[in-house]
């Protein structure tokens, strides 16, 4: 009884209170000790049996705070299909530059407060950042140089380095993490792969049990965004599985947002009955289309 009452909000408990009264006075002998036991456990130091259930004095664990990040019940949260969320976001972001305005995703995780965090890099099927240009320093005409150019590097060669030193660019680029560095994996044999990764790659990490990262430009079609979202979720799941046997991280909620827009909790559907035709949500379609 006590534990049941404690789980309810205060209002509900006060409503229930009159119903509870007759039970206490029930003359059923075998039941009485059990109830008195519960009654006493309220407000007193709890026995090991109902630790953390009653509203009694805070135990040691309570004082340290919850071990897990708080997860609210999502049943009241309005959730959207991907296309519906996109329709709202495109309306809010109307008139903005389609290449520089980004869709963002916030992945909430069920996670403990201590313990490792997810941190990784992802390469999307449809590149989000278009502005990163990559310079590769290697012998001109070598296999690496060809690979790098094929993978989309802007500058390839060896003469760049002295010129860069002369201009003092190292001081500017270094703190921003733009200089070659073994730690970042930017001093490498496998140039082509790395260039590709850097061009379409995004670094993400978990902070307070949420992973936030841009997953698309405003100009993307719903299919493109879906592909990117799917890739992200799959990789996050893989990351969570690869952490440790004892760590259990799960995806709890996925929120689609944008540079200026509000966050829309996604329900996992691609489109709903009221969604507009897909072409309408595609920026690249120059001509109008209607639903």
Member of 77, 155, 167, 172 binding other proteins (CB under 8 A): 77
**Per CB under 8 A, does 172 bind other proteins?**
no
**Per CB under 8 A, does 90 bind other proteins?**
yes
Member of 48, 94, 114, 245 binding other proteins (CB under 8 A): 94
Q: What is the dihedral of CA 34, 35, 38, 40, to 10 degrees?
A: -110
Contact stretch for other proteins (CB under 8 A) within 4-12, 51-59, 234-242, 259-267: 259-267
What are the angstrom distances between the C-alpha of 171 and each of 177, 178, 225? 11, 10, 37
**Per CB under 8 A, does 76 bind other proteins?**
yes
Contact stretch for other proteins (CB under 8 A) within 37-45, 141-149, 192-200, 205-213: 205-213
Q: Which is nearer to other proteins, 169 or 280 (CB)?
A: 280
**Per CB under 8 A, does 92 bind other proteins?**
yes
Interface positions with other proteins (CB under 8 A):
72, 74, 76-78, 87-88, 90-92, 94-96, 106, 108, 208-210, 255, 262-265, 276-277, 279-281, 283, 286-291
């Amino acid at each position: 009884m006590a534990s049941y009452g404690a789980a309810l909000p205060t209002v509900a408990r006060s409503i229930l209170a009159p119903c509870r009264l007759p039970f206490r006075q029930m003359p059923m002998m075998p039941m009485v000790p059990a109830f008195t036991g519960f009654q006493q456990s309220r407000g007193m130091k709890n026995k090991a049996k109902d630790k953390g259930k009653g509203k009694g004095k805070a135990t040691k664990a309570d004082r340290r705070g919850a071990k897990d990040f708080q997860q609210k019940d999502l049943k009241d949260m309005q959730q959207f299909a991907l296309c519906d969320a996109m329709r709202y976001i495109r309306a809010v972001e109307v008139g903005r530059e389609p290449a520089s305005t980004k869709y963002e995703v916030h992945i909430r995780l069920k996670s403990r407060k201590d313990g490792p965090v997810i941190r990784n890099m992802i390469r999307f099927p449809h590149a989000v950042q278009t502005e990163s240009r990559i310079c590769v320093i290697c012998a001109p005409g070598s296999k690496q140089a060809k690979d790098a150019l094929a993978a989309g590097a802007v500058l390839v060669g060896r003469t760049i380095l002295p010129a860069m030193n002369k201009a003092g660019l190292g001081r500017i680029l270094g703190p921003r993490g733009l200089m070659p560095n073994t730690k970042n994996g930017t001093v490498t044999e496998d140039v082509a792969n790395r260039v590709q990764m850097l061009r379409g790659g995004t670094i993400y990490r978990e902070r307070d049990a949420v992973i936030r990262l841009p997953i698309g430009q405003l100009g993307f079609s719903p299919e493109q965004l879906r592909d990117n979202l799917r890739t992200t979720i799959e990789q996050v799941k893989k990351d969570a599985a690869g952490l440790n046997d004892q760590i259990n991280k799960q995806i709890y909620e996925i929120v689609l947002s944008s540079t200026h827009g509000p966050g829309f909790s996604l329900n996992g559907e691609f489109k709903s009955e009221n969604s507009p035709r897909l072409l309408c949500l595609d920026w690249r379609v120059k001509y109008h289309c209607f639903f």
